[in-house]
Amino acid sequence: MRKILALVICLTMLLSALLISGCTPGGEEVYVEEGATEIKVYAREFEQWAKDHLNNLANEFNKDLTDGIQVKIQFYTQDTYADALTVARENGKAPDLYMTTYGELYTNIQNNYCISIDEYLSTEAVDDILDVCKEMVTYNDSIYAYPWNMEPGSMFFYRKDLFAEAGIEKVPTSWEELYDACEKLSGILSRGQYCIGLPLGSYECTWVTYGMQQNTTGGLTLDESWRVSRLDEPGFKDIAEFFYTIFSNDWAPTSALTSEGYTYIVDALCDNNPKLAMTFGGSWSIAEIYNYTESDQTIIDNIGVAPIPTQSGDQTGTTSANGGWCYCISKQSKNADKAAKFLNWMFTENAERTAQYFIEAYNSKAPTSQSVKDYLDGYNSEVPQEWIKVVNDVAATGIPEATYPWDISLETGKIFETMQVRCKTGAFETLYATALQTAQENIEIIMSRSNYPSNPKYDYGD
Amino acid sequence: MLSNYSDKSKKPRLFKYRNAKSAFAMMAPAVLLLLIFAYIPLAMAIVRSFQNYTTGEFVWFENYDYIVKTPSFTKAFGNVILFTAIIVVAQMVLSFFFAHVLKAINAKVANAVKILLYVPCLISGVVASIIFMFILNYGGGLITSILIGLDIDPIAFATEGYWPIACVIVPTWWLGFGYNTLVMYAGLLNVPKSYYEAAQIDGAGFFKQMIYVTIPYMKNIFILSLINLITGSLQMLDIPYMITGGGPLDMTMTPSLYLFNSFRDVNRPQNVTIAGSILIMIVIVTINIIAFKCIHSEKMED
């Protein structure tokens, strides 16, 4: 009994000592600034290193006990983030700063969730933002968010050892070359192994194929006015046939091989006996390769990265949409100026500080400002230079994701999904005609909604 | 004395309400909780379904117009009607049949079987889905492993052919089978033996006894099971969410799952989601009113 009592007293004393010295048991320093304004930041929880990075940034910022600002980050998982934001807004307690995707930014503006940050950014800071990013955060000539990163959603990953074994000498750049590669690979792969991993289901087939749609058809589902469907463009039929060819030949799995589906599809490429020989994957797959293989150089050396094959074989144009995240200041924030101060501190004041995120991310994301890009160009990364070049090149030609109602984009994804799940039940022409007609009818229904929006970046001339 | 009590007109007013205070006091917590957590939110939801989410301006049926012009939501309604029809028929027929088996077998064995049957009812839909996913998973589930071991191509249960529908219906049926069987079994035990004896004397065989004695006597049990099954099936969410995610091509999408996804979609005005929920509520309430009317009329006949 005495021993237990002594132990309890010792633990209490130790805890008190830690608290008095301002250290938590985890070693994280806590800075307390009396009377400071708390800036609440809602952040999506990604990988642990990304979470640590943001926490460290906030901690570093909070070290200054004279600026009257203390930042508090609250992380939410993919499943809870949107709910948390909705609930906070409903209660009038929206965070001062929050993350959103480029694709969702316009809805945030429409719904008055965020404010323009023009007045908080210096001219130099605005000029420093890369044009491709600036376009994604600008509406009605105002910048509404600071772009944090860019993630091309579709790139091509392959196993060099399997290519060599199958006698594939050239990395496929066109669909025809990809079919040839699949033919050759199917001869050497065993049951349970597949030639290529592609996005599955309408949801993935929608956002992953934005780049492919742009490359093949010269646009996305709707034209610039958001009033006319472009699905009659022959390129959409070609993409559908691409999916039909791959899936009817059993070259791709019809169900996800990994728990997160397309997000971590690259895992299936990284095993010693991989389930996939090639796969489409987002740029984040580069970091995933390092994490999954625990930086096993033998496997990493066996993996190649390239832009996705295109119909014509020309990969210099758009091959991907740029996903990624940006930071907004809430309309409900009462301390927008102080939130902006933290925003500037993170992104516009010190390129070296901002670049650390991209370094820790194994260059799997593209930077959003010229100064950070320049810094990274001079940095000696452990990631192969050709991989980094592919990410930057694909991002530079990437397009923003569609901002018209998601249901409409999804109808195009459903056409491609039809090819995946019905390819064994009928001829391509019949399947495509039915899928196209359904999609067109559904798009018309969606467009007939009484509150169907207009494109803020289109001049309707009235 | 008794006649005095039965004559309401002569009852003193004070006597009539002498327990009113304690009665109201006892009812108050329940009424208060219902008001706070059910009726006030419901009223707020109805009001908000007629408002613009951002401005609060009344837009009347605009949100309803949005949700009924959402192809996935309308398809989900069609799906759930199909699922409900299959689940209700399968559940009623098989539960009724198995209840007969339980009644016929040895009491000790029947007790053990009842426990085994009831165990799935204690499992949540999410856990049941995980169990089925372990079996059906394409990447390395039990069936995939067996098929690959036998050098047969694995089946993509979540996407191939009509398998996705089976993937949703079978676990739902499995979860409810024990409860429905026990309800039917209890109903069967309630049928007086004398009815069967009278029927036998009249020369009725097994099927005639079932049609003219068992089924009419258990009509209310059937209606109760029917209401539970229809209401439960219309609100299907966890199993399609976990196993198929509503796909492929919205084949297993249900209205509840659609609204659940819609609530989590920051792009969608939440008042549209609320309007969709109100629509589902109207459908379920209508079905329940019809079913309760049926029960009521049965009781009247009794």
pLDDT on residue A96: 97
Which residue in chain B has the smallest CA separation from A406?
A: B267
Paired with A75 in beta bridges are A43
Is 70 exceeded by the pLDDT of residue A337?
yes
Phi-psi region of A192 (alpha: psi -120 to 50; beta: other; left: phi over 0): left
Residue A25: pLDDT band by 50, 70, 90 thresholds? very low
Neighbouring C-alpha atoms within 13 Å toward the C-beta of B299:
8
Best CA proximity match to B101, nearest among B44, B177, B197, B194: B177
Phi and psi (nearest 5°) for A167?
Answer: 80, 25
Best CA proximity match to B250, nearest among B74, B65, B69: B74
Q: What angle do CA B231, B237, B238 make, to 5 degrees?
A: 125
Residue A8: pLDDT band by 50, 70, 90 thresholds? low
What is d(CA A23, CA B44) in angstroms, rounded to the nearest whole number? Answer: 46
DSSP structure string for chain B = -HHHHH-GGGS-HHHHTTTHHHHHHHHHHHHHHHIIIIIHHHHHHHHHTTB-TTT--B-TTHHHHHHHT-HHHHHHHHHHHHHHHHHHHHHHHHHHHHHHHHHHS-HHHHHHHHHHHHGGGGS-HHHHHHHHHHHH-TTT-HHHHHHHHTT-PPP-TTTSTTHHHHHHHHHHHHHHHHHHHHHHHHHHHHS-HHHHHHHHHTT--HHHHIIIIIHHHTHHHHHHHHHHHHHHHHT--HHHHHHTTT-STTTT--HHHHHHHHHT-TTS-HHHHHHHHHHHHHHHHHHHHHHHHHHHHHHHH-
Report whether A262 contacts A255 (CB < 8 A): no
Nearest to B266 among A82, A421, A448 (CB): A82
Number of Cβ within 10 Å of residue A21's Cβ equals 9
Give the residue from B267, B272, B274 with the most A CB atoms within 10 Å of its CB, the best one to mutate. Answer: B267
Q: How far is A150 from chain B (nearest CA, A)?
A: 20
Asked if residue B2 is part of any domain, the answer here is no
Asked if residue B63 is part of any domain, the answer here is no
Burial class (CB in 10 A: 0-12, 13-18, 19+), A115: buried
Asked if residue B274 is part of any domain, the answer here is yes
Give, to the nearest 10 degrees, the angle between helix A406-422 and helix B71-104. Answer: 50
Task: List pLDDT tens digits, range B196-215.
Answer: 999 999 998 888 998 899 98
What distance, in Å, lies between the first and last C-alpha atoms of chain B? 31
DSSP state at residue A156 = E
Q: CATH no. for residue B195?
A: 1.10.3720.10
Give SS3 for A325: strand
**Of A115 and B6, the one with more pLDDT:** A115
Task: List pLDDT tens digits, range A119-172.
Answer: 999 999 999 999 999 999 999 899 999 999 999 999 999 999 999 999 999 999
Is 60 exceeded by the pLDDT of residue B107?
yes
CA B178 vs CA B102, B132, B189: distances in Å: 12, 17, 16
Over residues A295-319, the mean pLDDT reads: 95
Give, to the nearest 10 degrees, the angle between helix B255-263 and helix B270-301. Answer: 150
For the ranges A36-50, A218-232, B3-17, the lowest mean pLDDT is seen at B3-17
Asked if residue B1 is part of any domain, the answer here is no
Residue ranges of B 234-263 with Cβ closer than 8 A to chain A: 245, 247-250, 263
pLDDT on residue A10: 61
Q: How far is B58 from chain A (nearest CA, A)?
A: 13
Nearest to B54 among A85, A112, A417 (CB): A112
Over residues A340-359, the mean pLDDT reads: 95
pLDDT on residue B114: 86
- Tally of structural domains, chain B: 1
Report whether B39 contacts B49 (CB < 8 A): no
DSSP structure string for A45-78 = ---HHHHHHHHHHHHHHHT-TTSSEEEEEEEE-H
Written as six digits, the tokens of B190 are 């309630």
Task: List pLDDT tens digits, range B160-178.
Answer: 889 999 999 999 999 999 9
Asked if A271 has any chain B CB less than 8 Å from its own CB, the reply is: no
pLDDT on residue A212: 97
pLDDT on residue A27: 42
Q: What angle do CA A398, A404, A406 make, to 5 degrees?
A: 90
What is d(CA A124, CA A121) in angstroms, rounded to the nearest whole number? Answer: 8
Asked if residue B48 is part of any domain, the answer here is no
Residue B5: pLDDT band by 50, 70, 90 thresholds? very low
**Of B278 and A29, the one with more pLDDT:** B278
Nearest to B65 among A254, A257, A450 (CB): A450
Report how many Cβ contacts below 8 Å link chain A to chain B.
Answer: 96
Paired with A366 in beta bridges are A150
pLDDT on residue A198: 96
DSSP state at residue A202 = H
What is d(CA A85, CA A381) in angstroms, rounded to the nearest whole number? Answer: 36
Q: Which residues span the domain enclosing B214? A: 71-301
Written as six digits, the tokens of A355 are 């670049």
Burial class (CB in 10 A: 0-12, 13-18, 19+), A417: buried
pLDDT on residue B19: 76
Is 80 exceeded by the pLDDT of residue B103?
yes
Report whether A321 contacts A210 (CB < 8 A): yes
Residue B267: pLDDT band by 50, 70, 90 thresholds? low
Set of chain B residues whose Cβ sits within 8 Å of the Cβ of A418: 249
Number of Cβ within 10 Å of residue A7's Cβ equals 10
pLDDT on residue A457: 84
Task: List pLDDT tens digits, range A311-326.
Answer: 999 999 999 999 999 9
What is d(CA A39, CA A54) in angstroms, rounded to the nearest whole number? Answer: 14
Dihedral of CA B77/B79/B85/B87: which sign? negative
Scanning the structure block, which residue is given the tokens 């039809």? A418
pLDDT on residue B296: 66
What is d(CA B236, CA B168) in angstroms, rounded to the nearest whole number? Answer: 9
Is 60 exceeded by the pLDDT of residue A23?
no
Set of chain A residues whose Cβ sits within 8 Å of the Cβ of B248: 201-202, 417, 420-421
- What is the percent of chain A with per-residue pLDDT over 90, rounded to a whole number? 74
Is 90 exceeded by the pLDDT of residue A58?
yes
List domains and CATH numbers for chain A. 30-147+323-397 (3.40.190.10), 155-320+404-447 (3.40.190.10)
Give SS3 for A384: coil
Compute the mean pLDDT over every residue in chain B, rounded to the nearest whole number.
Answer: 86
H/E element, A278? strand A276-281
What is d(CA A323, CA A29) in angstroms, rounded to the nearest whole number? Answer: 34
Asked if residue B254 is part of any domain, the answer here is yes
Task: List pLDDT tens digits, range A61-107.
Answer: 998 878 889 999 999 988 788 888 988 988 899 999 999 999 889 88
Scanning the structure block, which residue is given the tokens 């301002």? A22
Scanning the structure block, which residue is given the tokens 């290193």? A49
Asked if residue B55 is part of any domain, the answer here is no
pLDDT on residue A13: 61
Best CA proximity match to A317, nearest among A308, A304, A326: A308
Q: Is the peptide bond before B12 cis (omega within 30 degrees of 0)?
A: no
Residue type, B31: V
pLDDT on residue A24: 43
Is 90 exceeded by the pLDDT of residue A440?
yes
Contact assignment for A418 to B153 by CB distance below 8 Å: no
Q: What angle do CA B262, B267, B269 make, to 5 degrees?
A: 70
Asked if A275 has any chain B CB less than 8 Å from its own CB, the reply is: yes
Report whether A134 contacts A143 (CB < 8 A): yes
Is 50 exceeded by the pLDDT of residue A301?
yes
Give SS3 for A290: helix
